[in-house]
C-alpha cells in the first residue's frame, strides 16, 4: 500500500490578537465552546517548579466518571433528566469509539443529545436525523441531534417515547461513557450511576523540566511555526536537528533565543471548560509577578473522536481529528489566540 506524502490534508487555523482588558474579547466564549477536552498543556518559561497557586487550580479540576457499557437509553431516564440534565452543565462522551467507524454519543451541557451513527444503525433506530456533512459519495453516516430540554421531548411525549423505544428495543446501543457535571458532581449524577458499573477518576497531571531550550520570538513568530514549535516541546521532540538528519529537519523558528529553564505541564482526562477558565484566570495573576520572561502558553486539545467540536458543529476525523486552541498570554494583558481544526470540521467561530 502506497501513501501519498507529497500533500497534506487541508487544515483550518483562526488567529486573534486582543487584550483581556478589552470588554469584547472572546476568550471566555471560545473556552466555553470547546466542550470536550482531553488534554491541557502549559509552557512556563524561566520556571523550574510549578507555582503553588497554579498547582492548586490543577489539583481542583473536576472529577469525572467512566461508565462501562452504558445503555444509551439510560440518558433519557426521567430522574437523571430532572436532577442533572435540566440543571445544565452535564458533559458526557462515548469512550474509545471512533467517529469515522463506530457509533458515537455526546451529551452537551445545554441538554442536547448528539448521536453520530453509521447508516445501518440509523435506519434501525428510526429517528429523524440528517446525513453527516463529511460523507463523500455515499451517505454512510448520519447525525441525530435532540434537545432533551425541549418540552416536546419531555418524558411521556411522542418524540421522547419514540427515541426511548428506538434505543431500548430496536438499536439497543451500548458504549463506555465518560460523564461529568459542574458543579453538582457525583451527587447530581447518582440517579444514573446507581444503575451502572462505574469508576471515578481524577485528571492526571505530569510535568517536565527543560533546560537550554531554544525559543522563537513569540511576539512576532508566524502562527503555524509557533504552534509547530509548541507541539514539539510538548511532545518532547528536539528542535536541534542538523540539516543532514534523516529523522527530522524540525528546527526552532528564527530569530530565536535560549531559555535557561522552562517547565512543561500537562493534565489529561475529561476536562471541563469551567476549570480551564479558572486556570486562565490564575495564569493571568501569575504573569503579574516579576520574572525574566513575560509570557506563558496554554494549549487545550479536544477529543479527536467527539461528535462535535466548537459549539454544536459536527466534528469529523479524516486523518488526525484535530480540534484545539492555543492561548499565548503576555504580562501586559494582551493575548494571541489560535483555534485549529482538521479538514473535517467547520471553521471555528
Which tens digits make up the pLDDT trace of 180-217? 998 877 788 999 999 999 999 999 999 999 999 999 99
Question: Which residues are registered as beta bridge partners of 210?
Answer: 262
Residue partners of 153: CB distance under 8 A and separation at least 6: 146, 147, 159, 160, 163
Q: What is the mean pLDDT of residues 300-308?
A: 93
What pLDDT is recorded for position 242? Answer: 59
Quickly state the pLDDT bin for 2 (edges 50, 70, 90).
very low
Give the span between the Cα atoms of 341 and 225, in whole angstroms: 16
Give the span between the Cα atoms of 162 and 152, in whole angstroms: 11
What pLDDT is recorded for position 183? Answer: 84
Chain mean pLDDT for the chain: 90
What pLDDT is recorded for position 154? Answer: 94
CA distances from 186 to 50, 176, 205, 343 (A): 29, 18, 21, 37
Main-chain phi, psi angles of 291, to 5 degrees: -160, 170
Residue in the structure block whose three cell numbers are 450511576: 193
Q: What is the mean pLDDT of residues 255-274?
A: 94
C-alpha dihedral (265, 267, 273, 274), degrees to nearest 10 = -80
What pLDDT is recorded for position 155? Answer: 94
What pLDDT is recorded for position 136? Answer: 65
Q: Report which of residues 246 and 103 the model is more confident about.
A: 103
What SS3 class is residue 3? coil
Say which range, 292-296, 315-319, 329-333, has the weakest mean pLDDT. Answer: 315-319
Helices (H) and strands (E) in the chain, counts: 8, 15
Main-chain phi, psi angles of 111, to 5 degrees: 90, 10
Instruction: Specify whether the CB–CB gap between 327 and 298 falls below 8 A.
Output: yes
pTM beyond 0.85: yes
Torsion-angle region of residue 266: left (phi > 0), alpha (psi -120 to 50) or beta? beta
Question: Which residues are registered as beta bridge partners of 215?
Answer: 257
DSSP character for 260? E
Torsion-angle region of residue 165: left (phi > 0), alpha (psi -120 to 50) or beta? alpha
Instruction: Specify whether the CB–CB gap between 72 and 175 falls below 8 A.
Output: yes
pLDDT per residue over 123-148, tens digit each?
A: 999 999 999 988 766 788 999 999 99
What pLDDT is recorded for position 324? Answer: 92
Domains of the chain, by residue range, sit at 12-61+203-341, 64-201
Give the span between the Cα atoms of 336 and 230, in whole angstroms: 14
Is residue 3 scored above 50 in pLDDT? no
Is residue 348 scored above 60 in pLDDT? yes
Q: Report which of residues 245 and 155 the model is more confident about.
A: 155
Say which range, 24-28, 69-73, 105-109, 338-342, has the weakest mean pLDDT. Answer: 338-342
pLDDT per residue over 72-99, tens digit each?
A: 999 999 999 999 999 999 999 999 999 9
Q: What is the mean pLDDT of residues 308-330?
A: 86
Is residue 338 scored above 90 in pLDDT? yes
Amino acid at each position: 500500500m502506497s501513501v501519498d506524502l507529497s500533500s497534506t490534508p487541508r487544515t483550518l487555523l483562526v488567529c486573534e490578537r486582543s487584550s483581556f482588558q478589552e470588554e469584547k474579547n472572546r476568550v471566555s466564549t471560545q473556552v466555553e465552546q470547546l466542550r470536550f477536552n482531553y488534554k491541557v498543556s502549559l509552557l512556563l518559561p524561566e520556571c523550574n517548579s510549578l507555582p503553588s497557586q497554579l498547582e492548586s487550580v490543577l489539583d481542583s479540576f473536576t472529577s469525572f466518571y467512566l461508565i462501562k457499557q452504558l445503555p444509551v437509553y439510560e440518558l433519557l431516564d426521567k430522574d437523571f433528566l430532572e436532577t442533572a440534565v435540566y440543571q445544565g452543565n452535564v458533559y458526557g462522551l462515548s469512550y474509545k469509539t471512533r467517529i469515522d467507524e463506530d457509533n458515537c454519543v455526546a451529551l452537551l451541557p445545554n441538554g442536547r443529545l448528539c448521536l453520530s451513527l453509521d447508516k445501518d444503525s440509523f435506519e434501525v433506530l428510526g429517528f429523524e436525523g440528517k446525513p453527516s456533512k463529511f460523507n463523500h459519495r455515499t451517505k454512510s453516516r448520519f447525525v441525530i441531534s435532540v434537545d432533551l430540554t425541549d418540552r416536546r421531548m419531555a418524558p411521556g411525549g411522542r418524540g421522547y417515547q419514540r427515541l426511548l423505544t428506538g434505543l431500548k428495543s430496536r438499536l439497543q446501543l451500548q458504549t463506555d461513557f465518560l460523564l461529568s457535571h459542574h458543579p453538582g458532581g457525583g451527587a447530581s449524577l447518582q440517579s444514573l450511576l446507581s444503575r451502572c458499573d462505574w469508576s471515578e477518576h481524577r485528571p492526571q497531571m505530569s510535568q517536565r523540566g527543560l533546560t537550554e531550550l531554544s525559543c522563537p520570538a513569540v511576539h512576532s513568530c508566524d502562527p503555524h511555526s509557533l504552534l509547530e514549535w509548541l507541539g514539539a516541546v510538548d511532545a518532547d521532540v528536539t528542535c536541534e536537528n542538523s540539516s543532514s538528519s534523516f529523522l527530522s529537519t524540525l528546527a526552532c523558528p528564527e530569530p530565536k533565543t535560549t531559555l535557561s529553564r522552562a517547565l512543561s505541564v500537562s493534565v489529561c482526562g475529561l476536562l471541563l471548560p469551567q476549570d480551564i477558565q479558572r486556570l486562565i484566570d490564575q495564569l493571568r495573576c501569575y504573569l503579574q509577578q516579576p520574572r525574566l520572561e513575560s509570557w506563558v502558553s496554554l494549549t487545550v486539545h479536544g477529543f479527536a473522536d467527539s461528535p462535535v467540536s466548537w459549539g454544536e458543529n459536527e466534528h469529523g476525523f479524516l486523518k488526525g481529528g484535530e480540534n484545539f486552541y492555543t492561548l499565548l498570554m503576555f504580562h501586559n494583558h494582551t493575548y494571541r489566540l489560535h483555534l485549529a481544526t482538521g479538514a473535517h470540521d467547520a471553521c471555528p467561530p
